[in-house]
Chains A and B, each alone.
Chain A
Amino acid sequence: MSRVTIITLLMFAIATGLYWQVQQKRAADQSSADDGTYQPDFVATELNSRVYDEAGNLSSRVHADSMEHYQALNLTIFGAPRYNVFPNEGGSQWQLSAKTGTLNNDTQNVLLEEGVLIEAISPNEPIKNITTSYLEVDLNSMIMTSNKALFVEGDDFDLTGVGLFADLNENKVNLLKQVEGTYHVE
């Protein structure tokens, strides 16, 4: 066996050993994440927070019974969050509430889950509220989406459907599938 072959085999053995070690470490990290040993960096109860846009207008206000912030993941998890948003250049106001909410601070996307209620706060909105089990809200573009069943209650009508695309700045609400509506005749 020539010297070159021996050196090659040696290098190969070292590389394999290093790779094996890296895999072991990654597996260890993964298992610690899996059994939920991520600890929140800070927690709060009865949280009230306000977010302003560049022009200084109040763009959203959130109240939550509980809050946990995870710096590494840049995620904030809320218990019973109540978001008030002011789209349409402050022309309308909606309140979004749910059992739990997860805010991705990078994208400003909030996922609301379980008992999601979207209420029109401004008085003369023909749509009064929308209920569903799951909602994604982009707090920057004020676009709300869902792939679940929804119930829309209006002044003198209600609608059910599956799937939502709503642009609160444009004040447009679209149900995507299996739409059924009822108009109450006075």
Chain B
Amino acid sequence: TSADYLQEVKIRSNTQSADINKSLIIFDGDVVVKQGSMEIKANRLTAQTNEDKTAKVLIATGQPATYTQMMENGLPANASANEIRYDIASNTLVMEGEATLEQTGNKVTGHQIRYNMETQRIIAEGSENSDERVITILQPQQLDHGDKTPPQEQQQSEEK
């Protein structure tokens, strides 16, 4: 099947409200977002489309909002944060507020974690205004191989 990020995004919730003037749709209550193997769960989801309709951002909030997805290497990635922001056009996930991401055995925590779902690479950032640092916990087998073995090169998917 085609890569997750090329598939339709399915959303389920208790209620929905659309503010047409602001091109804003809000899904409330037991929100589940699915796109291929990716799944985000939250209390509320806001879908915002920009003026010229080129970018659509889904903002999931919860206590926490959670994300899970099957990686190319067959292992799951899991994340949670107070807010998970998914920019569909750029396939970027930004987790903010007590953010944690577990992927291929290592766990990253910080105020904000930025993650590219296409390349499955993490760009973790600590927040400037608090002394919260980015903590990465490597599993033992990662340590044996010296530095982290880069995820295998996934095959080139067709250009959008």
Contacts and interface: CB of A to CB of B under 8 A. Distances in A.
Interface of A: 125-127, 152, 155-157, 159, 161, 171-186
A162 to B, nearest CB: 10
Contact of A176 (B12, B15, B19): B15
B10 A127 contact: no
Given A172-B20, A179-B12, 6 more contacts: A173-B17, A178-B14, A179-B27, A181-B10, A182-B11, A184-B8
B53 A179 contact: no
Contacts of B56: 156, 183
A contact patch SS = strand
Contacts of A125: 20
Contacts of A179: 11-16, 27
Contacts, number: 77
A173 B7 contact: no
B8 A182 contact: yes
Residue among B7, B13, B19, B20 having the largest count of chain A Cβ atoms under 10 Å: B20
22 contacts: A126-B18, A155-B49, A156-B56, A157-B47, A171-B19, A172-B17, A173-B17, A173-B18, A174-B17, A175-B16, A177-B14, A179-B12, A179-B15, A181-B16, A181-B27, A182-B8, A183-B47, A183-B88, A185-B6, A185-B7, A185-B8, A185-B88
Interface size class of B (residues with CB under 8 A): 20 to 34
Interface of B: 5-21, 23, 25, 27, 35, 47, 49, 53, 56, 88, 160
B48 to A, nearest CB: 11
A150 B47 CA distance: 20
A185 B9 contact: yes
B123 to A, nearest CB: 23
Contact of A127 (B5, B6, B15, B18): B18
B10 A126 contact: no
Contacts of B12: 179-181
A110 to B, nearest CB: 22
